Amino acid sequence: MPRIENWSQYRHDALHHLGLDGHIDAIPYLTLPLRKQELLDTIRYNRDPHFNKRRLYDITEGTIYSQAEQRIHGKRIHAAIDYHVPYGTPVAAPACGYAVASYQSAWLREPDGSIRTLEGRPIAFGLGYYIQIYVPEVDRYIQLGHLSDLSDVVHFSKPVLEDRDWIPTHYATPLDELTSGKLDFVSYVNHGDILGQVGYSGLRWGYDDYTLGAEQPVVIDPEVHVSYDEPHVHVEEFYRNQLTGAKTPRRCIYDIYLSKDRYPTPTRVRQMGSEPLLYLDSNELPKFADDHI
């Protein structure tokens, strides 16, 4: 392998434009998965002492996991963005598209198959209650994970229990069926629609947060369903292989591909990547879902 002098440029060239034919246009089509007014209202009444009310949001994980997160579950690549906002903040659709919702998590296991523990309690890792949106405008998918609740805008597809792990369903529905308008588990969502609330479902810490066979997901109670992670919404962008169902290399919506401290927020001045997938405001920050685009 030739020596790579500029890893940032390499990641951009290797991942950001990688599509089915080797190239995909990196055009902006997303906003933040948050509406500013609802976020301000949530912050105003939030009593969580761990959330800084002077901040609209924090980015707590970028494409590469922080060292603290790596120590918990042993993974280095996150390939997504985590937005930390108060628990229960409404989550909005960052684009229009065809949506499915399900649940996914798995107990973390040691090499011998035993379940890993943190402070004496078994820990699980997964998307929890999530919504996946196929955006036909760009032929790509967006996933929003770790919600504490889902709204009636989307239909919930029950997961399957396999060896104590929850496997989601309908996430790999072929595109011709997904967009047909004939499937009762598919919803068309408009940009800005409220889809659920921020939480930490799937990141279980000694308990189960889904009831077998439930028609609707358990509404996560932060006083009962504690987590080892802060409340956040997980956002990732990808294309799903239509034969295998696997996610193809995921793109960083900021076009940064680094750890959390390299990403800009309203209270942290950093430079965006050269071709972000987010609409930007006059301050070169991502627009909210209720901003004009």
Question: What is the per-residue pLDDT for 1?
Answer: 37
CB 168 within 8 Å of CB 157: yes
> Residue 100: which CATH number?
2.70.70.10
> Contact 93/195 with Cβ under 8 angstroms?
yes
**267 domain-assigned:** no
Examine residue 284 and state whether it is found in any structural domain, yes or no.
no
Residue 275 lies in a domain: no
Q: What is the pLDDT of residue 6?
A: 62
Is residue 280 in some structural domain?
A: no
Has residue 270 been placed in a domain? no
The encoded tokens of residue 90 equal 């409404």
Q: Which residues are within 8 A (CB) of 176 and not within 5 positions of it... i.e. 6 or more apart?
A: none
Residue identified by tokens 């707590």 is: 60
Residue pLDDT, tens place only, 188-242: 999 999 999 999 999 999 999 998 999 989 999 988 999 999 999 999 999 999 8
Domain enclosing residue 152, as ranges: 7-262
pLDDT at residue 283 in the model = 94
In the prediction, which pLDDT does 50 show?
67
Q: What pLDDT score was predicted for residue 291?
A: 96
Helices (H), the chain: 7-11, 36-45, 67-73, 175-178
Give the pairing of strands 90-92 and 194-198: antiparallel
Question: Is residue 30 a part of any domain in this protein?
Answer: yes
Q: Specify if 247 maps to a domain.
A: yes
- The total of structural domains in the chain comes to 1
- DSSP E strands, the chain: 58-61, 81-84, 90-92, 97-107, 117-118, 121-122, 124-135, 140-150, 160-162, 165-167, 187-189, 194-198, 232-238
Instruction: Please identify every stretch of the chain with a pLDDT value under 70, giving residue numbers as ranges.
Output: 1-9, 19-21, 49-50
Report the candidate in 135, 111, 108 with the shortest Cα–Cα distance to residue 123. 108
